[in-house]
A and B are shown apart, each in its own frame.
Chain A
Amino acid sequence: MNITRKLGLTLVAAAAVTLYGCGKEEPKKAEAPKAAAPVEETITVKIAHAGPLTGGIAHLGKDNENGVRLAVDEANARKIKLGGKTVKFEMLTEDDQADPKLGPTIAQKFADAKVAGVVGHLNSGVTIPASAVYNQAGIPMISGSATNPKLTEQGFKVVFRTVGRDDQQGPAVAAYIAGELKAKKVAIADDATAYGEGLANEVEKTLKASGVNIVAREKTNDKATDFKAILTKIKGKNPDAIFYGGMDATGGPMIKQARELGIKATFTFGDGACTAEMTKLGGPASEGLICSQPGIPTQMASKSFQDAFKAKYGEVKQYAPFFYDGANLLIAAMQKADSADPAKYLPALASISYEGATGKIEFDAKGDRKGAEMTIFQMKKGIVEPVAIIKDGKTTKLDGAPAAAAPAAPAPAAPAAAPKK
């Protein structure tokens, strides 16, 4: 459970902690190294990806890997030249099993293999320990999904990310609650995990700053099923909106129990409960809930990326565009510096301004993406649909839902509802 809980920090998807023992997959080793016979005008540059390729969230790790692979294949097709020599990009990929202990081990493996840059990892819990090794080895690393603020607060010059941070998400939801829902009285609850409590605290701070009255601050735990006691207390305070910091496994039953008690307030959640599972776990009560996710909705990634990805690997699951951008950022920085030497292209990466599949990417001094977007979703007929994008505290409403086929939920409708085997 502990591991799962840590995952929650980054993962948008408790729902994704899916089938036991599914998706067994051998981490693909890079193709036979060509470096053995260096021809004068070609050089080989190794770009590494690491993420969970086995276990409960293997499908998300594989999605990321596909994003990186697409970028690398495209770069090879473009026959990029660095220092006058044609570059052959070679992709290394490792399975970190979403295990924090494996993070540094894999990082060391990449350092020994003298990779030019790393795109990964998926989980904050794994990325943070691994980043120390990358920092020591001087290898630039870009994660497309690690949202824990701590990652870029360590002062490592080589660490970047293409998604927003958890502490940008709280203020974004809060801005929506205060600005769009126009709630005057808000009740806040959390599941007492690092993720849930941290997010709820950020929401509380921002709401208070904008003059919203916090009428209740309740706590439960991430294994609870009975929320009636705290909900009854909340009902007595008669709030306009309720924010819950926690995952869908607790958020779903909570919203259901709240409606049974006759609570009419709008429910709002963070990314942990922003999944398609909510409609199953919460039933009809989940209709109309508001939730947020870092980044832009996957269906809003650039058309060229979507088409290329779909042709090769099928639907985008969640973070692939952010990892695709990560790999492209490394390559673009190398081109800008005309070198694949990390020491030489790192300054170029830090000061880059790049138009990626997820929009314009620039990094601040810490390595966080400048003006990272947060998306607000609403549950409509069992599908979480994006309704607004919040960037730098400004809300842009999306008119008309994007193509109906787009599953905004991070996890593909996990087969939790059906008994397996």
Chain B
Amino acid sequence: MDIFLQQLVNGLTLGSVYAVVALGYTMVYGIIQLINFAHGEVVMIGAMVAFTVITTISGANTGLPPLAIVLAGVLVAVPACMAVGYTLERVAYRPLRKAPRLAPLITAIGLSIILQHLAMIIWSRNPIPFPQIVTVTPYHFTGNPDGATITNVQVAIIATSILMMAGLLGLVYRTKLGIAMRATSQNQEVAGLMGININNVIALTFVIGAALAAVAGVMVGTYYGIAQYQMGFMLGLKAFSAAVLGGIGNLGGAMLGGLLLGVIEALGAGYVGEITNLCQLASWSDAIAARCATDPNLTLFGSNYQDVFAFMVLIAVLVFRPSGLLGERVSDRA
């Protein structure tokens, strides 16, 4: 039971990071039907910028409390990523807004490669150890001293994610800007005729997504204690899958998809090996029994199928609900 709870905690932490990143994909898709493949790289840049700020401040021995230093990292990373998000939209996507949909998609992939390599030039190709200035304290929340733990960093990640998601929902459904965004996503031309500045709304969507990505980058960096110029790629892919799983273009779907994907991944890695352990069939076949006598870990799928398992769930969902868990059936959307 402790192990199950621990996997659940692991999965929820990972999932809330996926959810925050997935929001960036889903917002942009919802408004201009573009899959912004460079979004994962924005997360990476957020982590890298925060890394630079945090090392500089903690190296200067200012005596600031660790939390303040991390906060400073976030406060610099967020505007930096917003600038990157704005630049991407302004320079690469806006000129292509009326182009066939394949053109911006390819551009997004190109931008992702450019950003990765720029980061490689700036921050080197080595994995960068993220400074561990916040002391990680595990809490044994079941009361068992050897049992499942949740660390202060994990609590902070989950709480921050929930706060940001709530804030975003409030922004989209409670403010004027949110109304403008929703109107633009329904019909750009008509929204423009109603006096909405389409360019500003779209640019702001990118900027908000990038701000979320920056926070996600700092969270990933402090959680795993490592940052690398390629870290955004797989994270972006997983978050994109999470967005699709929940129904791309749907904010609630991205959050649900992210959390689900994280939990599925953790439980998958933890239990696929045991479920597919051939030794359970030992009573059926002497050949298997003989192998199991020497090798009790004879499994069909080990933890190396962790990612495969997560993506299999994604495919299964899409087969039965092509528009994702919470997505609406809209014929012209992918």
**Interface set of A (CB-CB < 8 Å, partner B):** 1, 15, 17-21, 56, 192, 208, 214, 216-221, 223, 225-226, 228-230, 232-233, 235-236, 249, 252-253, 256-257, 260-262, 277, 280-281, 283-284, 414-421
Contacts and interface: CB of A to CB of B under 8 A. Distances in A.
Interface string B275-317: 0000000000000000000100100001110110000000000
Interface size class of B (residues with CB under 8 A): 35 or more
A18 B120 CA distance: 11
Nearest to B137: A260
B146 interface: yes
A17 B125 CA distance: 8
Contact of B304 (A15, A192, A256, A420): A192
A229 B273 CA distance: 12
A239 B220 CA distance: 28
Contacts of B220: 225
A249 B307 CA distance: 20
A233 B128 contact: no
Interface string B242-275: 0000000000000000000000011111100100
B226 A419 contact: no
Contacts of A415: 124
Nearest to A247: B127
Contacts of A235: 3, 6
B304 A220 contact: yes
A192 B307 CA distance: 13
Given A281-B129, A418-B55, A229 B304 contact: no
B158 to A, nearest CB: 14
Contact of A260 (B123, B151, B265): B151
B302 A416 contact: no
Given A21-B121, A218-B273, A233-B273, 15 more contacts: A17-B125, A56-B125, A218-B303, A223-B234, A229-B303, A230-B269, A232-B3, A232-B10, A235-B6, A252-B127, A260-B138, A277-B129, A281-B127, A283-B225, A419-B128
B304 A219 contact: yes
Given A228-B10, A416-B127, A236 B226 contact: no
Contact of A232 (B6, B132, B265, B304): B6
B224 to A, nearest CB: 4
B3 A421 contact: no
Contacts of B126: 15, 17-19, 249, 277, 414, 416
Interface in B112-149: 120-129, 132, 136, 138, 146, 149
A274 to B, nearest CB: 16
Contacts, number: 135
Contact of A229 (B2, B10, B128, B231): B10
B112 to A, nearest CB: 15
Contacts of B11: 229
B265 A283 contact: no
Main secondary structure on chain A at its contact with chain B? mixed
B234 to A, nearest CB: 6
Interface string B210-231: 0000000000100011101011
15 contacts: A18-B126, A19-B124, A19-B126, A219-B302, A226-B224, A228-B266, A232-B3, A252-B129, A253-B224, A416-B128, A417-B128, A417-B129, A419-B51, A419-B123, A419-B128
Contacts of A261: 6, 138, 149
Contact of A230 (B51, B146, B267, B303): B303
B304 A20 contact: no
What 3 pairs across the A-B complex have the smallest Cβ distances? Answer: A229-B269, A219-B304, A416-B126
A410 to B, nearest CB: 15
A50 to B, nearest CB: 24
Nearest to A236: B3
A253 to B, nearest CB: 5
A56 B2 CA distance: 44
Contact of A281 (B125, B225, B268): B225
A344 to B, nearest CB: 47
Nearest to B268: A229
Contacts of B273: 218, 233
B270 A233 contact: yes
A195 B243 CA distance: 35
Nearest to A190: B304
B52 interface: yes
Contacts of B149: 260-262
Contacts of B266: 228-229, 232
B7 A249 contact: no
Contacts of B132: 256, 283-284
A220 B305 CA distance: 9
A261 B266 CA distance: 14
B14 interface: yes
Contacts of A256: 132, 225
A146 to B, nearest CB: 23
Interface string B39-52: 00000000010011
A226 B18 CA distance: 13
Contact of A262 (B14, B138, B225): B138
Nearest to A248: B127
A219 to B, nearest CB: 4
Given A20-B121, A249-B228, A256-B225, A232 B7 contact: yes
A283 B124 contact: no
B10 A260 contact: no
Contacts of A228: 10, 14, 266
A346 B11 CA distance: 60
Contacts of A219: 302-304
Nearest to A253: B226
Contacts of B303: 218-220, 229-230, 233
Nearest to A279: B129
Interface in B1-21: 2-3, 6-7, 10-11, 14
